[in-house]
Chains A and B, each alone.
Chain A
């Protein structure tokens, strides 16, 4: 598939994209917010939606495990931890592709601002931490459009522990990477896993060039930074 880098909106896919998707008539913007649970992702997205809509921009939100096609099956399978890694990885990719073709691309075409609560980078990082081949993942996610902006909300693992415990009084099995067996102890496992995830994100950042936002700060100051950057981006369009 041809890349349309010459157009003003210079929309491109990481790889070949998806069959039948045309890129030239895309008017909207794709903004991704990445980060661990407890990094303030959802709060920031909610605030961005408020701000963008108040300013007259139509928005659509997508996230992981939200597809019509496989979300409930994925939830079920994950609950019992019965899928092996390649299977789980492909299941998530199916979930992503379903949202991509049914929500993201049509919304971009209609001129919406699509806010993605996590994107292919989390999926790739999770798999890489589990020992999967980076090249294989890159090929798989060649279907993904390159976003207009990616913000990775980076929070120190020690701070993430505090935030997750104060919110839920427990640490999530998957967010602690308990399936990989880093430690029998969920607290230790969480710290080790989140450290690995952070390292992997930094590695991915070199290839995918996203904005690492220091999210150890107050919610307001992060919002301010995000607004400033997104505002500049929208103005340039």
Chain B
């Protein structure tokens, strides 16, 4: 697997991975806010968000129609759609693309569901390796507590209920997440993950994230060439009229 930099794309792709409740979405959101404020061309893409594939995915999930194989394939379809229609053109145009989850999520989940790892990796063979992949690693209990604190209603596939690990959704979720964590750990060196300590506080983590990104990517190369256009300047007459209007409003 080659990175986008190695493939000579002008853009760069940064992915975050980790369990539900690892805080990765918060971190990538804060990273996005910072890059935007720096005037950098940035785009954010979420797992499982392709409009086209969405109706099929949600139908499959609601009616519990999915098997490990179709679960895997439908997510690959979703990813391919975002990859070919959004990510690649943006990377060609020199954007920094931020992905909340990447193919590694599929590698972890589908393998836990019993799909052969080589088969899943082969299917995602069209996707290049992110330039930076941050793995937000928490103690299993920490991420479980973050999710389960409010006793939310866990969805069937989210809790891994299709694996028949337990008839109790919370117990099933715990076992399922534990197995996914094992997969992530096993993949860390294979795919060059930067392992982030996600047990520490959010601000501290963000400082590390921003430092890492600015060290690995020469950010000034990704600035918008021209700042966003300013509103057209007013003619003297318009200016007077506007001021008068404002005075009136103040009264």
Residues in chain A within 8 A of chain B (CB atoms): 1, 15-16, 18-20, 68-70, 73, 77, 82-87, 89-91, 93-94, 97-98, 100-101, 133, 136, 139-140, 142-143
Contacts and interface: CB of A to CB of B under 8 A. Distances in A.
A69 B60 CA distance: 6
A87 B123 CA distance: 11
A86 B59 contact: no
A91 B119 CA distance: 16
Contacts of B116: 1, 16
Contacts of B122: 136, 139-140
Interface of B: 52-53, 55-56, 59-60, 65-70, 73-74, 76-77, 80-81, 83-85, 113-116, 118-119, 122-123, 125-126
B78 to A, nearest CB: 9
A139 B70 contact: no
Nearest to B76: A90
A73 B69 contact: no
Contacts of B77: 87, 90-91, 93-94
A83 B66 CA distance: 22
A235 B84 CA distance: 49
A71 B53 CA distance: 11
Contacts of A85: 84
A121 to B, nearest CB: 18
B81 to A, nearest CB: 4
A90 B123 contact: yes
A94 B74 contact: yes
Contact of B70 (A15, A82, A97): A97
A16 B72 CA distance: 15
25 contacts: A15-B119, A19-B67, A19-B114, A20-B67, A20-B68, A20-B114, A69-B56, A69-B60, A77-B52, A84-B80, A87-B84, A87-B85, A90-B80, A91-B53, A91-B77, A93-B73, A93-B77, A97-B67, A97-B69, A101-B69, A136-B122, A136-B123, A136-B125, A139-B118, A140-B123
Contacts of A136: 122-123, 125-126
Nearest to B115: A19
B107 to A, nearest CB: 14
Contacts of A87: 52-53, 77, 80-81, 84-85
Contacts of A68: 65
Given A16-B116, A19-B114, A94 B80 contact: no
A18 B69 contact: yes
B52 A142 contact: no
A16 B70 CA distance: 15
Contacts of B80: 84, 86-87, 89-90
B74 A69 contact: yes
A65 to B, nearest CB: 12
Contact of A98 (B53, B70, B83, B113): B70
Contact of A94 (B68, B70, B113): B70
Contact of A83 (B52, B55, B118, B126): B52
B2 to A, nearest CB: 15
Nearest to A96: B73
Given A18-B67, A19-B69, A140-B123, A73 B56 contact: yes
A140 B72 CA distance: 11
A87 B78 CA distance: 7
A68 B70 CA distance: 12
B21 to A, nearest CB: 27
Nearest to A19: B114
Nearest to A140: B123
Nearest to B126: A86
B81 A16 contact: no
B138 to A, nearest CB: 28
